[in-house]
Amino acid sequence: MSDWPHDRIYTAAIRSIRAHVKSDADWRFTHIDALPERLARIAPLNPDERSLVSCFIDAQRWYVMTTSRIFGIARGARFECSPLEITHWKWGDSNESGRPEVGIATLSLKSGTHLRIAYERGAASAAPASYEQFWTNQYPTLGKSE
């Protein structure tokens, strides 16, 4: 069993994400606190790890943001990193206004690597953006006030 605080992260992150998003009932690709069946078959979680935000666009464009990592397939290649390795998150235009419903985000890692991942635009883009905000603003102080 890991010492990583999956349960504490899950509780705080889900609360934060849900506070910043509108209802996820109408989203086509993105899910909060769930892995759709087709994604669960190809994206196994580690013991104690919990899914916070997931997005399955197609077999070559999907991600899972969990209590300890972000992993998936982008541009046909598998990727995996810790949210703590990310130094900068850059989201494309989240506004749909006649544009394609899939945007591209760039995650800059401490190693100098850049990951480009596809995400659902429009209201659904608030979910991964809120995941970013949790790791950037709340995680560093998680449990320090206790």
Please give the share of the chain, as a percent, with pLDDT higher than 90: 74
Q: Where are the domains of the chain?
A: 6-83+126-141
Instruction: Tell me: pLDDT of 130 over 50.
Output: yes
Selected residue with higher pLDDT from 23 and 95: 23
Query: What tokens appear for 94 in the block?
Result: 């989240």
Q: What pTM, to 2 d.p., does this model score?
A: 0.91
Cβ 6 vs Cβ 67: under 8 Å:
yes
Report the C-alpha gap between 81 and 64 in whole angstroms: 11
Report the C-alpha gap between 72 and 49 in whole angstroms: 15
Report the C-alpha gap between 25 and 18 in whole angstroms: 12
Least confident of 49-53, 68-72, 142-146: 142-146
Q: What is the pLDDT of residue 25?
A: 72
The H or E element that residue 19 is part of is helix 6-20
